Amino acid sequence: MIINEIDEFRINTICKRLKNSVTQIEVVNWLKNFKDHDVDKALLILEKLEFITENEIIELYDSKLKRILENNQDNIIIHAVCDYGKSSTLMVYYLKKTPTYNKFEYRIVFYYHYSNFKHKIKNISSKTSIVFLDDFSGSGKQFVNYYKTYVKPQIKNVKKINQLTFLTLFYLKRAKSYIQRFCSEIEMVGEVRNPAFHSKGSVFGYRKSMLPLRKFSYEYGKELFSIYNKKEKTNEVYPLGYKNSQALIVFAYNPPNNTLPIIWSSKNWVPLYPRVSENKMSESKKIRKKLAHEIGLIKEIEVSNVFYSGEKDLGWRTINFITKTDFITYSIMKMIRQKRTIPVICQILGITEDDYKNIISEKDEVFETSNSLTDYGDNIYLEVKKQLKLVRKEIKNNSCVFEIKENNYLPKEFKGVT
Same-domain check for residues 330 and 386: yes
* Domain co-membership, 88 together with 217: no
**Number of other CB atoms surrounding residue 30 within 10 Å:** 19
∠ CA(283), CA(288), CA(290), 5° rounding? 95
pLDDT the model gives residue 360: 92
Question: Distance (Å, rounded) from C-alpha 352 to C-alpha 356?
Answer: 6
Residue 365 lies in a domain: yes
Same domain, 23 and 129: no
Q: What CATH number is given to the structural domain containing 292?
A: 1.10.10
Domain contains 408 = no
Residues 242 and 216 in one domain: yes
Is residue 138 in some structural domain? yes
Do residues 35 and 75 both lie within one domain? no
% of the chain at pLDDT higher than 70: 81
Contact between 62 and 100 (Cβ < 8 Å): yes
pLDDT digits (tens, 9 = 90+) for 265-311: 988 999 999 886 544 445 566 677 777 777 776 665 555 556 666 66
Pair (233, 317) in one structural domain: no
Domain limit, last residue, from 167, 193, 219: 193
> Has residue 330 been placed in a domain?
yes
Q: How big is the CA angle at 199 (ends 196 and 204), to the nearest 5 degrees?
A: 45
CA atoms within 13 A on the CB side of 57: 25
Whether 273 is in a domain gets the answer: no
Query: Residue 155's closest CA among 188, 180, 123?
Result: 123
Q: Decide which of 173, 193, 213 is a domain's last residue.
A: 193
Residues 106 and 178 grouped into a single domain? yes
SS3 call for 301: coil
Angle at the Cα of 378 from the Cα atoms of 375 and 384, rounded to 5 degrees? 140
Q: Are residues 326 and 297 in the same domain?
A: yes
What is the tally of structural domains in the chain?
3
Query: Quick one: 208 exposed, middle or buried, by C-beta within 10 A (0-12, 13-18, 19+)?
Result: exposed
CB 78 within 8 Å of CB 168:
no
Pair (358, 333) in one structural domain: yes
The DSSP letter of residue 274 is: P
**Secondary structure, 3-state, 209-230:** HHHHHHHHHHHHHCCCCEEEEC
Answer yes or no: do 254 and 188 share one domain: no
Domain coverage including residue 375: 280-400
Per-residue pLDDT of the chain (418 residues; tens, 9 = 90+): 666 666 888 999 999 999 988 889 999 999 999 999 999 999 999 999 999 999 999 999 999 999 999 878 899 999 998 544 456 678 888 999 999 999 999 999 999 888 888 888 878 888 999 999 999 999 999 999 999 999 999 998 888 898 999 999 999 999 999 999 999 999 999 999 999 999 888 999 888 999 999 999 999 999 999 988 888 788 899 999 999 999 999 998 889 999 999 999 988 999 999 886 544 445 566 677 777 777 776 665 555 556 666 666 666 666 566 677 888 888 898 888 887 888 878 878 878 888 898 889 988 888 999 889 999 888 888 888 887 777 667 666 665 544 444 444 444 554 455 5
The pLDDT assigned to 44 comes to 96
Is there a domain that residue 149 lies in? Answer: yes
Please state, in angstroms and rounded to a whole number, the distance separating the CA atoms of residues 133 and 143.
10
Q: How far apart are CA 164 and CA 326, in angstroms?
A: 46
Domain membership flag for residue 406: no
Whether 181 and 223 map to the same domain: the answer is no
Alpha-carbon distance of 145 to 161, in angstroms, equals 20
How many of the other CB atoms lie within 10 Å of CB of 264? 22
Distance of CA 30 to the CA centre of its chain: 18
Where among 193, 221, 239 does a domain terminate?
A: 193
Predicted TM-score (pTM) of the model is 0.74
- Give the max Cα distance, the chain: 102
CATH code of 141's domain? 3.40.50.2020
> Do 167 and 221 fall into the same domain?
no
